[in-house]
Amino acid sequence: MIRVSRLDGTEFVVNAELIQLIETTPDTVLSLTDGAKFIVREPLDEVVARVIAYRRRAYAALPVHGMPDPPA
């Protein structure tokens, strides 16, 4: 989940795995796989950075295919 803000400043979280499209119209619009759309304050690059950071945290503990697990 990533935290974003509506245009009125209220914060909410969105499941980063469900984001299908991010566009600037000039507002930043998040389109989800279920058809929902949200207009957010954050610029496109910030939303992308938050999604990347989320995925790094979420998948950091998973072993890389073909590589041994790190020592405990």
Average pLDDT per block of 10 residues along the chain, 72 residues long: 97 97 96 98 97 91 67 65
Which is nearest to 47 in space by CA: 65, 31, 71?
31
- CB within 8 A of 6, min separation 6: which ones? 12, 38, 39, 40, 41
Q: What's the confidence (pLDDT) of residue 60?
A: 84
Domain with residues 2-59, CATH architecture:
Beta Barrel (2.40)
Q: What's the confidence (pLDDT) of residue 63?
A: 72
Any idea what DSSP says for residue 67?
A: S
Q: Report angle CA 40, 50, 54 to the nearest 5 degrees.
A: 130
Q: What's the confidence (pLDDT) of residue 41?
A: 98
Written as six digits, the tokens of 26 are 């000039």
